[in-house]
Amino acid sequence: MNIIVIFLLICGLIFFTGGAVGILRFPDFYSRLHPAGKLDTMGSLLMLIGLALFNLHHFSLGALLTSLKILLIVVFVFLSSPTAIHGIVDAGVRAGLTPWTKGEERR
Amino acid sequence: MMEHVFLYCGLFLSFLMLISLYRGVFGPTVLDRLIGANAIGSKTVVLLILIGLIYGRVDMFVDIALAYAMLNFIAVLAASRYFQKRKGLYDEVE
């Protein structure tokens, strides 16, 4: 049981690391939204599923309710994080930011 | 033994939040700063449940994490709706 939890936590940390490095190093506003939208959602999904599994270690009704609440957070993050990123993209398009093309300076 | 795993996971997650804070402070436009704030918020939800498991009070911290996830979503959505009407977004790039 503990091995599965540690495996899920480390997979989630790898996804979070990719998201942070992508936000730091991509050249443009629109390309920076790509790791922020996908990798953070996948990382928090894996880590929260691992923590909900660990919480059921000593089984009781209260622990089951807490794990169900953690899964509710998973569903909410899975719905809300891409929606928030899409809102930021829409704001960028309406404000008139032009996308980066190859050969331009990084900004 | 698992408490140590959670502690080092939380420390590494805080280090990743520090990396995302760079984009929040030095981002060229306002919307880049918004990306940094959103990344920090989505890491904080996981960090709150890790803290709850370390302290043994996860039944209390899970409600705080749920409220924080909703607050992060509403704050980012409201800020992006607000900044699309600003004309001064380009002034900061040049």
Question: Domain-by-domain residue ranges, chain A?
Answer: 2-94
The model carries a pTM of 0.87
CA B49 – CA A40 distance, rounded (Å): 16
Smallest Cβ–Cβ distance between B16 and the set A20, A76, A88 belongs to A20
Both structure tokens of A24? 């730091």
Q: Which residues of chain A make contact with B53, given a CB cutoff of 8 A?
A: 51, 54-55
CA A40 – CA A18 distance, rounded (Å): 9
Per residue in A50-88, pLDDT (tens digit) is 999 998 888 888 889 999 999 999 999 999 999 999 988
Smallest Cβ–Cβ distance between B76 and the set A19, A69, A84 belongs to A84
B53 with A51: CB under 8 angstroms? yes
**Can you list the positions of beta strands (E) in chain A?**
none
**Average pLDDT of chain B?**
85
Per residue in A17-35, pLDDT (tens digit) is 999 999 988 888 888 888 8
Domain boundaries, chain B: 2-85
Burial of B44 (0-12, 13-18, 19+ CB in 10 A): middle
